[in-house]
Structure 1
């Protein structure tokens, strides 16, 4: 039996390092049925909290107790008012589709406590272990036995089980306490659990997010990993000997709070040690009005560590979410790695940038550098005016702009220099444009605009690519998008709790998604 000290080291490792890329659940705004009530004949999903059944009954009896709140007139011929999920571990309750009038009837029954409208949520590494001081065969990583024996549960978009990160080489069988099951294309000692909590869906990952976060947390060693030749090295998660249990609660479009609670319910029953809820919402609610916070409290009370991100609404003050004191709330930072690129100017100066797509043998010839305030978001027409030129554009982080940039380069532009907006500042989130694009900071963008203005639009530049660079300073730096404290709900609770790498992290992805 493992010593308490050994287990503590493992959990500390996971608590501190596991949420490297996870952009976790952000509490949804919820209301009781007595607040802002508007009568409607439309069906919608509710999460209903009730008192426990009169006797200390088993799971079947709990399910019958929950069904008793739905009279035959509610759950009868229309089949719209059906029980979606039944909860016994996160709290006593169920999810159900009801009209407002039907909810009124349910709320008057003995044992009813509260109802929350179901919420729609959205889904929010080769060098990171080395940056964190983790070395194979020595030090803290070795002392923690690489997370061996720890079960990490993820509530996410599913998992691409065939990926090399989920091989079980060197991973022992799961502990005897594990009670879960695995329904995936490949189950082994690494991927010990895979369930879908969404009707008519298997555990496969259609979106990619769950695969990415799973490999970041506990992916096994994969040698020779890279992204189009950059970031080359051995890809590995922070706890490579830990076990993974995936609970699919999201499809390719969105996630429902009711399904998330069902996943949390299953994870508690199965016996996970650590939980990641890698989902998000743009609104927040007090702890007692948030069913996910309530459910997470139940998990923590059973000894499960629940890890969530601080959110992606930075750098605005008081934007931090997941403020509940029982959650481990994690801010996102950079690492000391850069996918280096340079813009060499006609005046002899050089500006450093980054490029996820690196051109093998770029031309050193200078080209006209063009900036137009009118076309600053790269919304140029595909005509001869851009042929052979390098375009300077401002990043607006839209899919439409990414598509436009690819088309511009395809139409004859030599390249694009994309500078951050003011909010992003010095945080460059690299993007694969499949073309000659160099990304720079907001400050360097302003410097380039000033250079172009000083030359009466006769400015010249060339692009060069330097591959993967390490030892970049300063690092770590809090990413601009990482939400800041203090908590708006409870200013006396200091959040976020810790900082972990979460910017430009390379990890596993399903091949069929095309990324």
Structure 2
């Protein structure tokens, strides 16, 4: 009788241990490491059908707005959902976004094993692990390796680009921006002997706007004015930048070195052009 109770107790302990082990395995599987993956499909995105839609609109006065047409965002989303259901039958996942227009794909929270299953589907072009990035606009020279590369070969940022004149065709330039000042360095800018450009003077771009750094500026608004499409509320008939884009691109290429970038009181580091002495 005592042996029977001992055997019964052992069986109970065994069953209890088995159940605990099973539960712990279930918990560990539910806590499997997941990550966000970007899944791109081989099927074309909606933008691919833009020309077709435009031709249809020109012929019939309307495009194809059917929710079953491949250019429809709802159609593409349903394709994504169907693929996930078929590839991950009964498994847990979380689709975060469906991308319709420029790429055909989706972002999904899955395990690495599930991502591998998706990558093997014939409809899938690639599966990429999502990752974080940080804005590094003021660190572009370091990103390109300029301090130890091209700049060092030119004698450092103090002389990198010296003697070179870079031309921009853009929305204009703001001559008051410190990226284009010629008096912030101990070494004055040399006058480029080979440059014979013009510095146009207007109300917004007065005399003295050009200097040894900003050696010339012209505007070409005559055509837009003549055709009646010039918008004086947004732009100037002047080299002055009414948009900000031209000032930005010029500073990226040729802006002075070490210019503080401050937005709404927040300091984002010191910016530099790639050829700061040009």
Superposed pair shares fold, TM > 0.5: no
TM range (shorter): 0.3 to 0.5
The normalised TM-score by structure 1 is 0.21
Which structure shows the higher strand fraction? 1
For CA contacts below 8 A with separation 6 or more, give which structure has more relative contact order: 1
